[in-house]
A and B are shown apart, each in its own frame.
Chain A
Amino acid sequence: MSGLDGKVVVVTGAAKGTGRVHCQRFADQGANVIALDTAEFADELQGTAAQVRDRGRRCVAATADVRDADTMSTAIDAAVHQLGRLDVVIANAGVHTAGAPVWKLSDETWQHTLDINLTGVWHTVKAAVPHIGESGGSVVIISSTNGLRGTANTAHYTASKHAVVGLARTLANELGPQRIRVNTVHPGAVATPMVLNQATFRRLCPDIPNPTEADAAEVLKARNLLPVPWVDPVDIANAVVFLASDEARYITGTQIVVDAGLTQKV
Chain B
Amino acid sequence: MGRLQGKVALITGAARGIGRAQAVRFAQEGADVIAMDICGPLDTVLTPPATPADLDETARLVSDTGSRIVTEIVDVRDTDAVQAATDRGVEQLGGLDIVCATAGITSREMAMEMSENAWQTMLDVNLSGVWRTCRATAPHLIERGAGSVILISSIAGLKGLVGVAHYTSAKHGVVGLMRSLANELAPHNIRVNSVHPTNVDTPMIQNDNVRSAFRPDLEHVSREEFAEAACSMNMLPIPWVDAVDVANACLFLASDEARYITAVTLPVDAGSTQR
* Residue-wise interface mask of B (179-197) relative to A, using a CB-CB cutoff of 8 A (1 in contact, 0 not): 1111111000000000000
Q: Judging by beta carbons under 8 Å apart, are A103 and B135 in contact?
A: yes
Most chain B CB inside 10 Å of its own CB: which residue of A102, A122, A153: A102
Contact A162 B111, CB 8 Å, known A102-B131, A103-B135, A169-B160: no
**Smallest CB separation, B157 vs chain A (Å):** 7
B171 at interface (Cβ–Cβ under 8 A)?
yes
Cα(A168)–Cα(B161), bound, Å: 10
Cα(A165)–Cα(B75), bound, Å: 27
**Smallest CB separation, A108 vs chain B (Å):** 11
Note all chain B residues with C-beta closer than 8 A to A107: 79
Q: Judging by beta carbons under 8 Å apart, are A159 and B131 in contact?
A: yes
Q: Judging by beta carbons under 8 Å apart, are B120 and A102 in contact?
A: no
Note all chain A residues with C-beta closer than 8 A to B120: 119
**Smallest CB separation, B20 vs chain A (Å):** 26
A130 at interface (Cβ–Cβ under 8 A)?
yes
Note all chain A residues with C-beta closer than 8 A to B177: 102, 150, 155, 158-159, 162
Q: For A118, give its contact among B135, B157, B169, B263 (CB under 8 Å).
A: B169
B165 — nearest CB in chain A belongs to which residue? A170
Q: Judging by beta carbons under 8 Å apart, are B119 and A163 in contact?
A: no
Note all chain B residues with C-beta closer than 8 A to A130: 112
A174 at interface (Cβ–Cβ under 8 A)?
yes
B162 at interface (Cβ–Cβ under 8 A)?
yes
**Smallest CB separation, A165 vs chain B (Å):** 5
Q: Judging by beta carbons under 8 Å apart, are B168 and A167 in contact?
A: yes
Note all chain A residues with C-beta closer than 8 A to B157: 166
A146 — nearest CB in chain B belongs to which residue? B176
Q: For B128, give its contact among A102, A111, A125, A166 (CB under 8 Å).
A: A111
A204 at interface (Cβ–Cβ under 8 A)?
no
Q: What is the size, in residues, of chain B's interface with A at 8 Å between Cβ atoms?
A: 47
Q: Judging by beta carbons under 8 Å apart, are A103 and B160 in contact?
A: no
A-B pair count, CB < 8 Å, reads: 148
**Smallest CB separation, A240 vs chain B (Å):** 20
Contact A166 B183, CB 8 Å, known A103-B138, A173-B161: no
**Smallest CB separation, B188 vs chain A (Å):** 10
Which residues, 94 to 150 on B, are CB-close (under 8 Å) to A? 110-112, 114, 116, 119-120, 123, 127-128, 131, 134-136, 138-139, 142
Cα(A161)–Cα(B128), bound, Å: 14
B187 — nearest CB in chain A belongs to which residue? A152
Q: Judging by beta carbons under 8 Å apart, are A160 and B160 in contact?
A: no
**Smallest CB separation, A43 vs chain B (Å):** 30
Note all chain A residues with C-beta closer than 8 A to B181: 102, 150, 155
B164 at interface (Cβ–Cβ under 8 A)?
yes
Q: For B174, give its contact among A104, A159, A164, A168 (CB under 8 Å).
A: A159
Note all chain A residues with C-beta closer than 8 A to B184: 101-102, 152-153, 155
A149 at interface (Cβ–Cβ under 8 A)?
yes
Q: Judging by beta carbons under 8 Å apart, are A162 and B112 in contact?
A: no
Which residues, 100 to 117 on A, are CB-close (under 8 Å) to B? 101-105, 107, 110-111, 114
Contact A151 B168, CB 8 Å, known A102-B131, A102-B177: no
A111 — nearest CB in chain B belongs to which residue? B128
Q: Judging by beta carbons under 8 Å apart, are B168 and A166 in contact?
A: yes
Which residues, 29 to 69 on B, are CB-close (under 8 Å) to A? none
Q: Judging by beta carbons under 8 Å apart, are A172 and B160 in contact?
A: yes
B76 at interface (Cβ–Cβ under 8 A)?
no
> Interface on A for B, CB 8 Å cutoff?
69, 101-105, 107, 110-111, 114, 118-119, 122, 125-126, 129-130, 146-147, 149-155, 158-174, 253
Apart from the given pairs A103-B142, A150-B178, A155-B176, 6 other A-B contacts in the complex at a CB distance below 8 Å: A118-B169, A122-B119, A150-B181, A153-B184, A154-B180, A170-B165
